[in-house]
Amino acid sequence: MEGHDGSGSAGELLARHREVLPNWLALYYDQPIELVRGEGARVWDGDGNEYLDFFGGIVTTISGHVVPRLVRALSEQAGKIAHSSTLYLIRPMVELAERLTGIAPIDLPVKAFFVGSGTEAVEAALLFATTWRRSNEIIALRNSYHGRSFGAIGITGNRGWSASSFSPLNVSYALSPYCYRCPLGLTYPACGVACAEDVRNVIETTTTGEPAAMIAEPIQGVGGFVTPPPEYFGIVKSILDEFGIPFIADEVQTGFGRTGEAFWGIEGYGVHPDAIVCAKGLGNGMAMGAVVSRADMMESLRANSISTFGGNPLASTYALANLDHIEENRLQENAYKVGNALYRGLKDLEDRFDVVGEVRGKGLMVGVEMVSDATSKAPSPEAVAKVMESCKEQGLLLGKGGLYGNVLRLSPPLSITEDDVARAIETLEVAFGEAATLGSP
């Protein structure tokens, strides 16, 4: 069967995919789909089915698909020069660095370095911090995800994404600020955010006292949009400051207005990090990552370093147009407004459906943890699978995550409307109803 783009059916493409790509490269859905076209928050598969895209290519297409001004910026630059390398001056890269260093909530002189992905940005930040501090000790969080390379896996606190136990780093894991499944069995706020205090104990018992850095996601993305309580990062940062330990915010998912309340996720916690790692939303789908950090940390390298593709004219031009688009269309404000509507609508469903354990998140980064019932809180990846399939049938794409694969992840483009939110909620209401019958005769 021919798809609408004339390239053949999804079934035939799936067979070819399985033949030549590794078996761990997971695909969503019983019958995987090929997305061949997009426009704003809508995408179409090869059979012409339309979907509302509430995952945005894994929290990436922050401005939406095929935004005319971005397409224009890209094709105009492609018509001039696509690549030159950092051996030559690159005007859009310098402009992008000026832009990012200007908006980073980092004290002291700041510099930016560009790479091709989030993983590579994490790697670069680890290299800078470990060189600067002359230590290979890193503090990370349990239930974290930082990428797929050797070093990034080494600081990823999630068994499902840890393909190797080998690591160039000596890593200590602090408790995840995961209130719904509190690792200390406590309840917020009576807990006094005891999980944050754990960082002190980790430093005192598992490190030399002078680790290179602590790295954390402001909201744990792959971990299931685990959203720390408001005081968490303030307490952690004050403990790190006592010991003089730098803090790296991994903003790969939370950056660029996604959380609605601030441009960077960590700003919502009132904390100034020493370095920020970003990617995904920066390029709205173009392969691009960056580290923005204190200049003394970044410039501690005593050897040459280079990224052939990092900051190339095409990606930098596109990212600059993307940042303009986010700012001029007040997408962060929209994420706050429609994100609240989405959150409230889902909270109503949480009250009505026993299989919905917890709705959490900020702005347009909303997670729904599915359980077999609200009393046992037993994780239900089956309910997630059912909801994903049902939503797909109804024309809504979602993501999933969580340590147990039982969390739905909603991260649409920040440009969605209240009508889009209403449609997503209606769709999820039907899907939760279907998931609620799982296990019934």
Ligand X SMILES: Cc1ncc(COP(=O)(O)O)c(C=O)c1O
Tell me which residues touch ligand X (CB under 6 A). 58, 117-119, 122, 145-147, 217, 221-222, 250, 252-253, 279
Our CB check for ligand X shows the closer of 157 and 345 to be 157
Q: Considering beta carbons, is residue 118 or 257 the nearer one to ligand X?
A: 118
Rounded Cα–Cα distance for residues 187 and 389 (Å): 34
| Residue 289: closest CA among 115, 148, 145 | 115
- Report the nearest approach of ligand X to the CB of residue 437 (Å): 33
**Closer residue to ligand X (CB): 90 or 252:** 252
E strands of 180-308, at which residues?
Answer: 213-216, 247-250, 275-278, 289-294
Degrees (nearest 5) of the Cα angle 358, 360, 363? 155
Q: Report the C-alpha dihedral over residues 350, 353, 356, 360, rounded to 10 degrees.
A: -10
Q: Cβ distance 278 to 290 under 8 Å?
A: yes
SS3 of residue 437 by DSSP: coil
- The position carrying tokens 């049902």 is 390
Q: To the nearest whole angstrom, how small is the minimum distance from the Cβ of residue 401 to ligand X?
A: 9
- CB of residue 220 to ligand X, shortest distance in Å: 8
Q: How many CA atoms lie within 13 A of 244 on its CB side?
A: 5
DSSP summary character for residue 159: G
**In whole angstroms, what is the distance from residue 75 CA to residue 367 CA?**
36
From the CB of 52, what's the least distance to ligand X, in Å? 22
Give the shortest CB-105-to-ligand X separation in angstroms.
Answer: 18
- Smallest gap, in angstroms, from Cβ of residue 376 to ligand X? 29
Closest residue (Cβ) to ligand X? 118
Q: Which is nearer to ligand X, 259 or 372 (CB)?
A: 259
Complete DSSP assignment for 331-357 = HHHHHHHHHHHHHHHHHHHHHH-TTEE
Per-residue CA distances from 88 to 91, 254, 322, 441 (Å): 10, 32, 24, 68
Nearest residue (CB) to ligand X, 279 versus 321 = 279
Nearer to ligand X, 246 or 401 (CB): 401
Q: Which is nearer to ligand X, 46 or 283 (CB)?
A: 283
Q: What tokens were used for 245?
A: 């330990």
Structure tokens at 292: 């923005």
Shortest separation between residue 251's beta carbon and ligand X, angstroms: 8
